[in-house]
């Protein structure tokens, strides 16, 4: 697993070590999880990709260069990430409803039950499930098939609310991502593609765990889910040119720079680091901010409060903040609370990476309808560049 403070160098080393397996071997073996002690058939790059220490485009292009058409499956999987992200950005109600459930009386009473406690402590007696609960907590990672089966057993066999399972994942996954996580749990529940649920089976778990597990007593029928109104579709903000006046570059765990912040022709007078989230993400944010500040010859001011942010802006002599687009989720919610403080507005300018500007609006329906956009993404000349030139 990644070191305490994941770095781009570590992620790139992991990518180059994995690359020989990103072609036909990935297509054939990716669903088999030999366990955390083994090298495995997947990249385990998600914690680096989640925080944009490495861009999705870098993974996809490296795989295409190494394997040509045989990299299609790997590139598809990489693009699931942008698909989920775009889908949620256009349906913010799915996120707000999920958050509202977590603070409801019903959620509180379920958390107090023995069944919930047994599930999160890995004491259900269900083979595989209990091991995965503890693997998630100790390593911060689960293989995709383990995530699917765990979520299925959680809601369909144990009959626990999907939202509490999603929250358990988000708390422990090092790649915890509001879009991929919430929407994958909804997909297992049958809420993403109506009527299509994911039911874990003994045989599939035995095969996908390379024979390590053979759980019995799994549900043969899906748990009923409460019907919900369709989420209204919101328009994505149109990307706008970055301001040419002096700004402070704000680095957040949502984008740690991937292959650069492309600051040429901009007037950046300082760097502010919003050090929030898990300890590893906060440390990586501080480190990424240091790197970019060194490159442009300025200072870094870390902040977690309005007062520290105000101090940084005063020190740098401007009130304009420039950052990579902040998607829906915990970082955005935390920052909005600081910016909305009644000490006066702080203008925030968000830049959209070209990869996101093309990928997100295409996530209108299912992934099948989305697939044609993958060719456009792969053809972009500067996918990590920002869509902010006039």
> What tokens appear for 166 in the block?
């999603």
What residues from 187 to 226 belong to the interface with ligand FAD (CB under 6 A)? 188
Burial of 279 (0-12, 13-18, 19+ CB in 10 A): exposed
Q: Which stretch binds ligand FAD (CB under 6 A): 111-119, 180-188, 362-370, 381-389?
A: 180-188
* Residue count, binding to ligand FAD (CB under 6 A): 28
The alpha-helical segments, DSSP class H, found in the chain are 8-18, 24-29, 46-50, 56-67, 72-89, 92-102, 105-111, 114-120, 129-139, 144-152, 162-172, 178-189, 202-208, 279-296, 306-316, 330-339, 354-359, 367-370, 372-379
What residues from 258 to 287 belong to the interface with ligand FAD (CB under 6 A)? none
In the set 151, 191, 200, 271, which binds ligand FAD (CB under 6 A)? 151
Q: Can you tell me the distance from the alpha carbon of 285 to that of 276, in angstroms, rounded to the nearest whole number?
A: 8
* Residue 144 lies near ligand FAD (rule: CB under 6 A): yes
**Residue 32 or 348 with smaller CB distance to ligand FAD:** 32
Residues 6+ away with beta carbon under 8 Å from 106: 161
What residues from 16 to 35 belong to the interface with ligand FAD (CB under 6 A)? 30
* Residue 44 lies near ligand FAD (rule: CB under 6 A): yes
**Cβ 235 to ligand FAD shortest distance, Å:** 24
* Residue 43 lies near ligand FAD (rule: CB under 6 A): yes
**Residue 18 or 274 with smaller CB distance to ligand FAD:** 18
Dihedral sign from CA coordinates of 265, 271, 275, 281:
positive
* Residue 173 lies near ligand FAD (rule: CB under 6 A): yes
DSSP bridge pairs for 273: 251, 302
**Residue 46 or 324 with smaller CB distance to ligand FAD:** 46
Query: Cα torsion at 267, 269, 271, 272 (round to 10°)?
Result: -110
Q: Which stretch binds ligand FAD (CB under 6 A): 172-180, 244-252, 271-279, 345-353?
A: 172-180
Q: Is 310 helix (H, G, I), strand (E, B) or coil?
A: helix
Task: Tally the C-alpha atoms within 13 A of residue 321's C-alpha that lie toward its C-beta.
Answer: 25
Q: Which stretch binds ligand FAD (CB under 6 A): 141-149, 215-223, 340-348, 371-379?
A: 141-149
3 φ/ψ angles, rounded to the nearest 5 degrees: -65, 170
155 φ/ψ angles, rounded to the nearest 5 degrees: -90, -35
In the set 7, 46, 252, 285, which binds ligand FAD (CB under 6 A)? 46
What residues from 293 to 352 belong to the interface with ligand FAD (CB under 6 A)? none
Q: Can you tell me the distance from the alpha carbon of 141 to that of 233, in angstroms, rounded to the nearest whole number?
A: 32
**Residue 223 or 300 with smaller CB distance to ligand FAD:** 223
* Residue 169 lies near ligand FAD (rule: CB under 6 A): yes
**Cβ 98 to ligand FAD shortest distance, Å:** 13
Residues 6+ away with beta carbon under 8 Å from 125: none
In the set 168, 185, 213, 261, which binds ligand FAD (CB under 6 A)? 185
In the set 84, 303, 355, 370, which binds ligand FAD (CB under 6 A)? 84
Q: Please count the helices (runs of H) and the strands (runs of E) in the chain.
A: 19, 5
**Cβ 58 to ligand FAD shortest distance, Å:** 11
**Residue 181 or 252 with smaller CB distance to ligand FAD:** 181
In the set 55, 86, 176, 239, which binds ligand FAD (CB under 6 A)? 176
Decide: 73 and 26 in contact? Cβ < 8 Å.
Answer: yes
In the set 53, 75, 148, 269, which binds ligand FAD (CB under 6 A)? 148
Q: Can you tell me the distance from the alpha carbon of 84 to that of 177, in angstroms, rounded to the nearest whole number?
A: 10
In the set 153, 180, 283, 288, which binds ligand FAD (CB under 6 A)? 180
In the set 49, 155, 275, 282, which binds ligand FAD (CB under 6 A)? 49
Distance of CA 332 to the CA centre of its chain: 13
* Residue 163 lies near ligand FAD (rule: CB under 6 A): no
**Cβ 146 to ligand FAD shortest distance, Å:** 8
Query: Cα torsion at 148, 150, 151, 156 (round to 10°)?
Result: 110
386 φ/ψ angles, rounded to the nearest 5 degrees: -100, 145
**Tokens 């300890």 belong to residue:** 279
> What does the binding site for ligand FAD look like in residue numbers (CB under 6 A)?
30, 42-46, 49-50, 77-78, 80-81, 84, 143-144, 147-148, 151, 169, 173, 175-177, 180-181, 184-185, 188
């Amino acid at each position: 697993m990644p070191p305490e403070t994941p770095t781009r160098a570590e992620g790139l080393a992991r990518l180059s070590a994995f690359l020989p397996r990103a072609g036909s071997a990935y297509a054939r073996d990716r669903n088999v999880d030999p366990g955390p002690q083994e090298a495995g058939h997947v990249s385990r790059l998600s914690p680096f990709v989640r925080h944009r220490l490495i861009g999705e485009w870098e993974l996809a292009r490296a795989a295409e260069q190494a394997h040509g058409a045989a990299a299609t499956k790997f590139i598809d999987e990489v693009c699931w990430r942008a698909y989920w992200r775009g889908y949620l950005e256009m349906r913010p109600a799915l996120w707000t409803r999920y958050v509202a459930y977590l603070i409801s009386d019903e959620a509180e009473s379920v958390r107090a039950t023995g069944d919930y406690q047994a599930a999160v402590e890995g004491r259900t007696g269900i083979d595989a499930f209990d091991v995965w609960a503890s693997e998630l907590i100790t390593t911060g990672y689960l293989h995709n098939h383990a995530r699917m089966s765990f979520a299925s057993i959680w809601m369909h066999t144990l009959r626990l609310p999907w939202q509490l399972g999603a929250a358990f994942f988000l708390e422990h996954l090092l790649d915890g991502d509001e879009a991929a996580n919430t929407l994958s749990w909804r997909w297992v529940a049958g809420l993403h593609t109506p009527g299509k649920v994911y039911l874990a089976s003994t045989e599939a778990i035995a095969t996908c765990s390379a024979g390590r597990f053979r759980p019995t007593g799994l549900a043969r029928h899906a748990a009923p889910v409460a019907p919900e109104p369709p989420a209204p579709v919101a328009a994505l903000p149109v990307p706008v040119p970055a301001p040419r006046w002096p700004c402070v570059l704000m680095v957040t765990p949502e984008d740690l720079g991937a292959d650069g912040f492309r600051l040429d022709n901009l007037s950046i007078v300082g760097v502010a680091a919003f050090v929030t989230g898990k300890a590893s993400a906060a440390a990586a944010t501080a480190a990424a901010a240091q790197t970019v500040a060194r490159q442009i010859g300025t200072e870094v001011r870390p902040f977690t409060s309005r007062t520290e942010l105000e101090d940084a802006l005063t020190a740098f002599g401007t009130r304009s903040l420039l950052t990579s687009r902040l998607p829906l989720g915990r970082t955005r919610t935390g920052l909005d609370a600081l910016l909305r403080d009644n000490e006066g507005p702080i203008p925030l300018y968000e830049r959209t990476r070209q990869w996101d500007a093309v990928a997100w609006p295409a996530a209108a329906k299912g992934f099948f309808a989305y697939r044609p956009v993958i060719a456009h993404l792969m053809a972009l000349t500067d996918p990590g560049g920002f869509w902010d030139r006039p």
